[in-house]
Amino acid sequence: MASESNPTPPRAPLHLVSLWNPTYKVDALEAHTELLLDYVRDAQDGVLSWDEAYVWWGRVRSQRRQQPIAHLPQVLALDAESRTRELQLYLTDYRSLYVARVAAITNDDQADRDPDHTPAYYEELDLRCDCWFRLTDLRCLIQDDTIAVQDELRHLRVTTYNDQPVSLYGGMVDLPLLVRRDDGASFFDVREMEQLNDGRRWVQADAERTGLSGLVTDLQDNVLGERAWRTLIPTARSFVATAERLMRDHRRDTAFDYSTVVVELCKALEVQVNALLGEVAPLAPPEVRYYNVAGTSVDLASGRGLTVGQLSGAIASTKERMDFFSGRLTEGRFMVEELPVFLDEVAEYRNPSAHSERRSRAQVLPLRNRIIGVGEEGILVRLSKVQPR
Protein backbone atom coordinates (compact mmCIF):
# COMPACT_ATOMS: atom_id res chain seq x y z
CA MET A 1 0.00 0.00 0.00
CA ALA A 2 1.31 3.44 -0.93
CA SER A 3 2.13 5.80 1.92
CA GLU A 4 1.01 9.42 2.09
CA SER A 5 4.55 10.54 1.29
CA ASN A 6 4.80 8.15 -1.64
CA PRO A 7 1.32 7.97 -3.19
CA THR A 8 0.47 5.55 -5.97
CA PRO A 9 0.81 7.37 -9.31
CA PRO A 10 -2.44 7.81 -11.24
CA ARG A 11 -3.16 5.19 -13.87
CA ALA A 12 -2.84 6.15 -17.51
CA PRO A 13 -6.17 7.08 -19.13
CA LEU A 14 -8.11 4.60 -21.23
CA HIS A 15 -8.11 4.52 -25.03
CA LEU A 16 -9.60 2.13 -27.60
CA VAL A 17 -8.40 -0.22 -30.35
CA SER A 18 -10.51 -1.68 -33.13
CA LEU A 19 -10.29 -3.19 -36.61
CA TRP A 20 -11.70 -2.13 -39.92
CA ASN A 21 -12.75 -4.68 -42.49
CA PRO A 22 -11.07 -4.13 -45.88
CA THR A 23 -13.34 -6.67 -47.63
CA TYR A 24 -16.50 -4.55 -47.81
CA LYS A 25 -17.50 -3.37 -51.28
CA VAL A 26 -16.05 0.00 -50.29
CA ASP A 27 -12.89 0.73 -48.32
CA ALA A 28 -14.21 1.51 -44.83
CA LEU A 29 -11.28 3.68 -43.83
CA GLU A 30 -11.33 5.60 -47.11
CA ALA A 31 -15.09 6.19 -46.88
CA HIS A 32 -14.79 7.74 -43.42
CA THR A 33 -11.72 9.77 -44.38
CA GLU A 34 -13.33 11.28 -47.47
CA LEU A 35 -16.49 12.25 -45.61
CA LEU A 36 -14.54 13.77 -42.72
CA LEU A 37 -12.31 15.66 -45.16
CA ASP A 38 -15.34 17.22 -46.84
CA TYR A 39 -16.66 18.55 -43.54
CA VAL A 40 -13.25 19.76 -42.34
CA ARG A 41 -12.65 21.65 -45.58
CA ASP A 42 -16.11 23.22 -45.43
CA ALA A 43 -15.46 24.30 -41.84
CA GLN A 44 -12.10 25.76 -42.80
CA ASP A 45 -13.77 27.71 -45.63
CA GLY A 46 -16.44 29.01 -43.24
CA VAL A 47 -19.27 27.14 -44.94
CA LEU A 48 -19.97 25.14 -41.78
CA SER A 49 -19.07 25.51 -38.11
CA TRP A 50 -16.29 23.38 -36.68
CA ASP A 51 -18.91 21.64 -34.52
CA GLU A 52 -20.19 20.05 -37.75
CA ALA A 53 -16.79 18.74 -38.84
CA TYR A 54 -17.02 15.11 -37.79
CA VAL A 55 -17.84 11.60 -39.00
CA TRP A 56 -19.37 8.60 -37.19
CA TRP A 57 -17.45 5.32 -36.98
CA GLY A 58 -19.53 2.28 -36.05
CA ARG A 59 -18.29 -0.80 -34.22
CA VAL A 60 -20.00 -3.35 -36.51
CA ARG A 61 -21.65 -6.30 -34.76
CA SER A 62 -21.07 -9.76 -36.23
CA GLN A 63 -24.23 -11.34 -37.63
CA ARG A 64 -23.42 -14.46 -35.61
CA ARG A 65 -23.46 -12.56 -32.30
CA GLN A 66 -26.81 -11.49 -30.91
CA GLN A 67 -25.72 -10.07 -27.56
CA PRO A 68 -23.82 -6.78 -27.09
CA ILE A 69 -20.17 -6.93 -26.10
CA ALA A 70 -19.65 -7.59 -22.40
CA HIS A 71 -17.63 -4.46 -21.69
CA LEU A 72 -19.92 -2.10 -23.64
CA PRO A 73 -20.86 -0.14 -20.47
CA GLN A 74 -17.17 0.65 -19.91
CA VAL A 75 -16.81 1.79 -23.51
CA LEU A 76 -19.89 4.02 -23.32
CA ALA A 77 -18.67 5.47 -20.01
CA LEU A 78 -15.74 7.02 -21.89
CA ASP A 79 -18.18 9.36 -23.62
CA ALA A 80 -17.96 11.83 -20.74
CA GLU A 81 -14.15 11.72 -20.75
CA SER A 82 -14.02 12.43 -24.49
CA ARG A 83 -15.14 15.99 -23.73
CA THR A 84 -12.32 16.73 -21.30
CA ARG A 85 -9.27 14.90 -22.68
CA GLU A 86 -7.80 13.42 -25.85
CA LEU A 87 -9.54 10.07 -26.28
CA GLN A 88 -7.84 7.97 -28.95
CA LEU A 89 -9.33 5.22 -31.13
CA TYR A 90 -6.67 3.14 -32.88
CA LEU A 91 -7.85 1.53 -36.11
CA THR A 92 -6.01 -1.19 -38.01
CA ASP A 93 -6.49 -3.75 -40.76
CA TYR A 94 -3.23 -5.43 -39.61
CA ARG A 95 -1.21 -3.81 -42.43
CA SER A 96 -1.84 -0.15 -41.59
CA LEU A 97 -2.56 1.81 -38.43
CA TYR A 98 -4.52 5.01 -37.87
CA VAL A 99 -5.48 6.90 -34.74
CA ALA A 100 -8.65 8.97 -34.48
CA ARG A 101 -9.71 11.61 -32.01
CA VAL A 102 -13.02 10.65 -30.41
CA ALA A 103 -15.42 13.45 -29.46
CA ALA A 104 -18.41 11.32 -28.39
CA ILE A 105 -19.53 7.71 -27.94
CA THR A 106 -23.10 6.42 -28.14
CA ASN A 107 -25.06 3.23 -28.83
CA ASP A 108 -27.77 5.10 -30.74
CA ASP A 109 -27.89 4.11 -34.42
CA GLN A 110 -26.22 7.03 -36.17
CA ALA A 111 -26.83 5.63 -39.66
CA ASP A 112 -30.47 6.39 -38.89
CA ARG A 113 -30.16 9.44 -36.64
CA ASP A 114 -27.33 11.31 -38.40
CA PRO A 115 -26.98 9.85 -41.93
CA ASP A 116 -25.26 12.93 -43.37
CA HIS A 117 -22.26 12.29 -41.09
CA THR A 118 -22.25 8.50 -41.60
CA PRO A 119 -20.79 6.71 -44.67
CA ALA A 120 -23.59 5.28 -46.79
CA TYR A 121 -22.31 1.70 -46.73
CA TYR A 122 -23.60 1.12 -43.19
CA GLU A 123 -27.15 1.47 -44.48
CA GLU A 124 -26.50 -0.15 -47.86
CA LEU A 125 -25.06 -3.29 -46.26
CA ASP A 126 -27.59 -3.25 -43.39
CA LEU A 127 -24.82 -3.22 -40.80
CA ARG A 128 -25.72 -3.11 -37.12
CA CYS A 129 -23.31 -1.59 -34.62
CA ASP A 130 -22.72 -2.08 -30.90
CA CYS A 131 -21.66 1.55 -30.52
CA TRP A 132 -20.66 4.61 -32.52
CA PHE A 133 -17.67 6.94 -32.19
CA ARG A 134 -17.80 10.54 -33.36
CA LEU A 135 -14.42 11.30 -34.94
CA THR A 136 -13.15 14.84 -35.41
CA ASP A 137 -9.70 14.00 -36.77
CA LEU A 138 -7.95 10.96 -38.22
CA ARG A 139 -4.19 10.49 -38.43
CA CYS A 140 -2.21 7.90 -40.35
CA LEU A 141 0.60 6.37 -38.28
CA ILE A 142 1.73 3.43 -40.44
CA GLN A 143 0.97 2.25 -43.97
CA ASP A 144 1.56 -1.21 -45.44
CA ASP A 145 3.93 -2.49 -42.73
CA THR A 146 2.50 -5.15 -40.42
CA ILE A 147 5.67 -5.43 -38.34
CA ALA A 148 5.65 -1.68 -37.69
CA VAL A 149 1.95 -1.86 -36.75
CA GLN A 150 2.69 -4.57 -34.20
CA ASP A 151 5.63 -2.59 -32.80
CA GLU A 152 3.51 0.54 -32.37
CA LEU A 153 0.60 -1.34 -30.77
CA ARG A 154 2.96 -2.76 -28.15
CA HIS A 155 2.82 0.67 -26.50
CA LEU A 156 -0.79 -0.14 -25.60
CA ARG A 157 -1.76 -2.48 -22.75
CA VAL A 158 -5.09 -4.30 -22.71
CA THR A 159 -6.95 -3.76 -19.43
CA THR A 160 -8.99 -6.96 -19.78
CA TYR A 161 -5.88 -9.07 -20.42
CA ASN A 162 -3.77 -8.37 -17.34
CA ASP A 163 -2.35 -5.20 -18.91
CA GLN A 164 -0.47 -7.19 -21.55
CA PRO A 165 0.59 -5.40 -24.76
CA VAL A 166 -1.82 -5.52 -27.69
CA SER A 167 -1.14 -8.51 -29.93
CA LEU A 168 -2.28 -8.51 -33.55
CA TYR A 169 -2.44 -12.28 -33.67
CA GLY A 170 -4.73 -13.82 -31.10
CA GLY A 171 -5.41 -10.61 -29.22
CA MET A 172 -7.86 -8.81 -31.50
CA VAL A 173 -11.05 -10.20 -29.93
CA ASP A 174 -13.96 -8.59 -28.05
CA LEU A 175 -13.36 -5.31 -29.83
CA PRO A 176 -12.99 -2.48 -29.18
CA LEU A 177 -10.15 -3.20 -26.79
CA LEU A 178 -9.84 -1.01 -23.74
CA VAL A 179 -6.18 -0.04 -23.48
CA ARG A 180 -3.80 2.23 -21.58
CA ARG A 181 -0.74 4.02 -22.89
CA ASP A 182 1.81 4.75 -20.20
CA ASP A 183 3.91 7.16 -22.26
CA GLY A 184 0.96 9.56 -22.47
CA ALA A 185 1.47 10.17 -26.19
CA SER A 186 -0.76 12.87 -27.66
CA PHE A 187 -1.52 12.77 -31.38
CA PHE A 188 -3.78 15.81 -31.70
CA ASP A 189 -1.99 18.51 -29.74
CA VAL A 190 -3.01 21.93 -31.10
CA ARG A 191 0.50 23.39 -30.79
CA GLU A 192 1.99 20.46 -32.66
CA MET A 193 -0.55 20.78 -35.45
CA GLU A 194 0.32 24.46 -35.73
CA GLN A 195 4.03 23.65 -35.90
CA LEU A 196 3.86 20.67 -38.26
CA ASN A 197 0.67 21.21 -40.28
CA ASP A 198 0.26 25.01 -40.33
CA GLY A 199 -2.75 24.56 -38.04
CA ARG A 200 -4.59 22.09 -40.26
CA ARG A 201 -6.06 18.88 -38.90
CA TRP A 202 -4.11 15.71 -39.51
CA VAL A 203 -6.73 14.28 -41.86
CA GLN A 204 -6.00 17.23 -44.18
CA ALA A 205 -2.23 16.94 -43.97
CA ASP A 206 -2.27 13.18 -44.52
CA ALA A 207 -4.44 13.59 -47.62
CA GLU A 208 -1.39 15.18 -49.28
CA ARG A 209 0.91 12.29 -48.33
CA THR A 210 -0.66 9.44 -50.29
CA GLY A 211 1.14 6.80 -52.34
CA LEU A 212 4.28 6.63 -50.20
CA SER A 213 4.38 2.89 -49.44
CA GLY A 214 6.78 1.97 -52.23
CA LEU A 215 9.11 4.82 -51.35
CA VAL A 216 8.99 3.85 -47.68
CA THR A 217 10.16 0.36 -48.60
CA ASP A 218 13.06 1.79 -50.58
CA LEU A 219 14.10 4.13 -47.76
CA GLN A 220 13.98 1.26 -45.28
CA ASP A 221 15.74 -1.35 -47.40
CA ASN A 222 18.15 0.67 -49.53
CA VAL A 223 18.85 4.04 -47.90
CA LEU A 224 18.63 4.24 -44.09
CA GLY A 225 18.47 0.51 -43.38
CA GLU A 226 15.79 -1.41 -41.52
CA ARG A 227 17.16 -0.88 -38.01
CA ALA A 228 17.48 2.89 -38.35
CA TRP A 229 14.15 3.23 -40.17
CA ARG A 230 12.20 1.34 -37.51
CA THR A 231 13.87 3.34 -34.75
CA LEU A 232 12.34 6.53 -36.14
CA ILE A 233 8.88 7.26 -34.77
CA PRO A 234 6.06 6.89 -37.34
CA THR A 235 5.50 10.63 -37.78
CA ALA A 236 9.18 11.19 -38.50
CA ARG A 237 9.11 8.44 -41.12
CA SER A 238 6.16 10.12 -42.81
CA PHE A 239 7.95 13.46 -43.09
CA VAL A 240 11.13 11.80 -44.38
CA ALA A 241 9.17 9.92 -47.05
CA THR A 242 7.31 13.08 -48.08
CA ALA A 243 10.57 15.00 -48.43
CA GLU A 244 12.16 12.25 -50.47
CA ARG A 245 9.14 11.97 -52.76
CA LEU A 246 9.31 15.71 -53.43
CA MET A 247 13.03 15.43 -54.13
CA ARG A 248 12.68 12.54 -56.55
CA ASP A 249 9.52 13.73 -58.29
CA HIS A 250 11.02 17.14 -59.08
CA ARG A 251 14.62 16.20 -59.77
CA ARG A 252 14.28 17.49 -63.37
CA ASP A 253 12.07 20.48 -62.51
CA THR A 254 14.31 23.55 -62.48
CA ALA A 255 11.41 25.80 -61.39
CA PHE A 256 10.56 23.79 -58.28
CA ASP A 257 11.16 25.36 -54.86
CA TYR A 258 13.28 22.77 -53.08
CA SER A 259 13.07 24.53 -49.72
CA THR A 260 9.91 22.48 -49.12
CA VAL A 261 12.09 19.36 -49.10
CA VAL A 262 14.23 20.64 -46.26
CA VAL A 263 11.21 21.92 -44.34
CA GLU A 264 9.77 18.38 -44.37
CA LEU A 265 13.11 16.97 -43.21
CA CYS A 266 13.24 19.60 -40.46
CA LYS A 267 9.84 18.41 -39.28
CA ALA A 268 11.18 14.84 -39.16
CA LEU A 269 14.12 15.98 -37.04
CA GLU A 270 11.82 17.97 -34.77
CA VAL A 271 9.41 15.18 -33.94
CA GLN A 272 12.23 12.64 -33.49
CA VAL A 273 14.40 14.79 -31.22
CA ASN A 274 11.42 16.13 -29.26
CA ALA A 275 10.25 12.57 -28.63
CA LEU A 276 13.74 11.50 -27.58
CA LEU A 277 14.07 14.35 -25.07
CA GLY A 278 10.57 13.56 -23.84
CA GLU A 279 11.72 10.06 -22.81
CA VAL A 280 14.49 11.26 -20.50
CA ALA A 281 13.34 14.74 -19.44
CA PRO A 282 11.08 13.45 -16.61
CA LEU A 283 14.32 12.46 -14.82
CA ALA A 284 15.95 15.86 -15.34
CA PRO A 285 16.33 18.57 -12.68
CA PRO A 286 13.99 21.55 -13.19
CA GLU A 287 16.70 23.76 -14.71
CA VAL A 288 17.10 21.17 -17.48
CA ARG A 289 13.57 19.84 -17.82
CA TYR A 290 12.04 23.28 -18.40
CA TYR A 291 13.28 25.43 -21.26
CA ASN A 292 12.39 29.08 -21.76
CA VAL A 293 11.11 29.97 -25.24
CA ALA A 294 10.30 33.65 -25.72
CA GLY A 295 9.25 34.00 -22.08
CA THR A 296 7.26 30.74 -21.98
CA SER A 297 8.48 27.76 -19.98
CA VAL A 298 8.28 24.58 -22.08
CA ASP A 299 8.33 21.17 -20.39
CA LEU A 300 10.65 18.94 -22.42
CA ALA A 301 8.89 15.91 -20.95
CA SER A 302 5.91 16.68 -23.19
CA GLY A 303 7.99 15.43 -26.13
CA ARG A 304 6.73 18.08 -28.56
CA GLY A 305 6.60 21.72 -29.47
CA LEU A 306 10.22 22.79 -30.07
CA THR A 307 11.56 23.68 -33.52
CA VAL A 308 15.03 22.70 -34.72
CA GLY A 309 16.60 25.95 -33.53
CA GLN A 310 14.91 25.74 -30.13
CA LEU A 311 15.94 22.11 -29.75
CA SER A 312 19.58 23.10 -30.18
CA GLY A 313 19.33 25.40 -27.16
CA ALA A 314 17.29 22.91 -25.15
CA ILE A 315 20.11 20.36 -25.54
CA ALA A 316 23.28 22.42 -25.35
CA SER A 317 22.68 25.99 -24.15
CA THR A 318 24.18 25.26 -20.72
CA LYS A 319 26.73 22.89 -19.25
CA GLU A 320 24.01 21.40 -17.03
CA ARG A 321 21.97 20.49 -20.09
CA MET A 322 24.91 18.98 -21.93
CA ASP A 323 25.99 16.96 -18.90
CA PHE A 324 22.50 15.61 -18.28
CA PHE A 325 21.70 14.54 -21.85
CA SER A 326 25.15 13.12 -22.53
CA GLY A 327 24.84 11.04 -19.37
CA ARG A 328 21.27 9.84 -20.00
CA LEU A 329 21.57 9.08 -23.71
CA THR A 330 23.83 6.82 -25.72
CA GLU A 331 25.98 8.51 -28.37
CA GLY A 332 26.18 11.41 -25.92
CA ARG A 333 28.94 13.32 -27.71
CA PHE A 334 26.99 13.36 -30.96
CA MET A 335 23.83 14.37 -29.10
CA VAL A 336 25.24 17.38 -27.22
CA GLU A 337 28.11 18.53 -29.47
CA GLU A 338 27.45 17.65 -33.11
CA LEU A 339 23.65 17.54 -33.35
CA PRO A 340 23.00 21.03 -31.90
CA VAL A 341 25.45 22.56 -34.39
CA PHE A 342 23.67 20.82 -37.25
CA LEU A 343 20.24 21.86 -35.95
CA ASP A 344 21.41 25.47 -35.95
CA GLU A 345 22.53 25.08 -39.57
CA VAL A 346 19.12 23.90 -40.78
CA ALA A 347 17.08 26.24 -38.55
CA GLU A 348 17.01 28.93 -41.24
CA TYR A 349 14.97 26.60 -43.44
CA ARG A 350 12.40 26.19 -40.66
CA ASN A 351 12.00 29.89 -40.04
CA PRO A 352 8.63 31.07 -41.47
CA SER A 353 10.40 33.95 -43.22
CA ALA A 354 12.47 31.41 -45.14
CA HIS A 355 9.37 29.89 -46.73
CA SER A 356 9.16 32.82 -49.14
CA GLU A 357 12.76 32.38 -50.27
CA ARG A 358 13.10 29.99 -53.17
CA ARG A 359 15.85 27.35 -52.95
CA SER A 360 17.35 25.55 -55.93
CA ARG A 361 18.14 21.86 -56.12
CA ALA A 362 21.86 22.64 -55.99
CA GLN A 363 21.37 24.54 -52.73
CA VAL A 364 19.27 21.86 -51.04
CA LEU A 365 20.85 18.64 -52.32
CA PRO A 366 23.93 18.66 -50.02
CA LEU A 367 21.77 19.21 -46.95
CA ARG A 368 19.28 16.51 -47.99
CA ASN A 369 22.16 14.09 -48.64
CA ARG A 370 23.60 14.79 -45.22
CA ILE A 371 20.29 14.19 -43.45
CA ILE A 372 19.20 11.13 -45.45
CA GLY A 373 22.71 9.71 -45.76
CA VAL A 374 23.64 9.72 -49.43
CA GLY A 375 27.36 9.01 -49.71
CA GLU A 376 27.84 9.15 -45.94
CA GLU A 377 26.31 8.06 -42.65
CA GLY A 378 23.37 10.43 -42.42
CA ILE A 379 22.10 12.44 -39.48
CA LEU A 380 18.96 10.28 -39.28
CA VAL A 381 21.00 7.09 -39.00
CA ARG A 382 23.21 8.61 -36.33
CA LEU A 383 20.15 9.92 -34.51
CA SER A 384 18.61 6.45 -34.56
CA LYS A 385 21.54 5.24 -32.42
CA VAL A 386 20.72 7.72 -29.65
CA GLN A 387 18.66 5.89 -27.02
CA PRO A 388 17.91 6.37 -23.32
CA ARG A 389 20.41 4.58 -21.11
Q: Would you state the pLDDT for residue 81?
A: 95
Tell me: do 123 and 217 sit in the same domain: no
Q: Would you state the pLDDT for residue 209?
A: 79
Tell me: do 161 and 231 sit in the same domain: no
* Residue at 49 is within a domain: yes
* Cis, peptide link before residue 286, omega less than 30° from 0: no
Q: Which of 181, 197, 228 is the last residue of a domain?
A: 181
Q: Which of 142, 161, 181 is the last residue of a domain?
A: 181
Mean pLDDT of 82-91: 96
* Per-residue pLDDT reduced to its tens digit, 138-182: 999 998 889 999 999 999 999 988 899 999 888 888 899 999 998
* Residue at 325 is within a domain: yes
Mean pLDDT of 108-133: 94
Tell me: do 236 and 328 sit in the same domain: yes
Domain of residue 102, residue span: 14-181
Q: Would you state the pLDDT for residue 210?
A: 72
Number of domains in the chain: 2
* Residue at 199 is within a domain: no
Distance CA 54, CA 248 (A): 35
* Residue at 222 is within a domain: yes
Closest CA to 284 of 258, 264, 302, 304: 302
Tell me: do 216 and 177 sit in the same domain: no
Tell me: do 54 and 152 sit in the same domain: yes
* Residue at 200 is within a domain: no
Distance CA 121, CA 24 (A): 9
Task: Report yes or no: 53 and 39 within 8 Å, Cβ to Cβ.
Answer: yes
Q: Would you state the pLDDT for residue 355?
A: 56
* Residue at 61 is within a domain: yes
Structure-model confidence comparison of residues 354 and 202, the more confident one: 202
Mean pLDDT of 6-24: 80
Mean pLDDT of the chain: 90
**62 falls in which pLDDT band (50, 70, 90)?**
confident
Indicate whether 330 pLDDT > 80: yes
Q: Would you state the pLDDT for residue 160?
A: 87
Tell me: do 175 and 73 sit in the same domain: yes
Tell me: do 287 and 152 sit in the same domain: no
* Residue at 189 is within a domain: no
**14 falls in which pLDDT band (50, 70, 90)?**
very high
* Per-residue pLDDT reduced to its tens digit, 33-58: 999 999 999 999 999 999 999 999 99
Length of the chain: 389
Q: Would you state the pLDDT for residue 216?
A: 86
* Per-residue pLDDT reduced to its tens digit, 282-323: 999 999 999 999 999 999 999 988 999 999 999 999 999 999
Q: Which of 181, 199, 225 is the last residue of a domain?
A: 181
Distance CA 49, CA 171 (A): 40
Tell me: do 236 and 298 sit in the same domain: yes
pTM for this one? 0.86
Q: Provide the percentage of residues in the chain whose pLDDT is more than 70.
A: 95
Kindly state the DSSP code that residue 62 receives in the 8-state scheme.
P
Helical H runs in the chain?
28-44, 72-81, 110-113, 121-124, 146-153, 190-197, 202-207, 213-218, 226-231, 234-249, 259-280, 286-289, 308-316, 319-328, 332-333, 339-350, 361-372, 379-384
Tell me: do 170 and 299 sit in the same domain: no
* Residue at 9 is within a domain: no
Tell me: do 239 and 123 sit in the same domain: no
Cβ-based neighbour number of residue 104 at 10 Å? 18
Tell me: do 172 and 277 sit in the same domain: no
Tell me: do 216 and 176 sit in the same domain: no
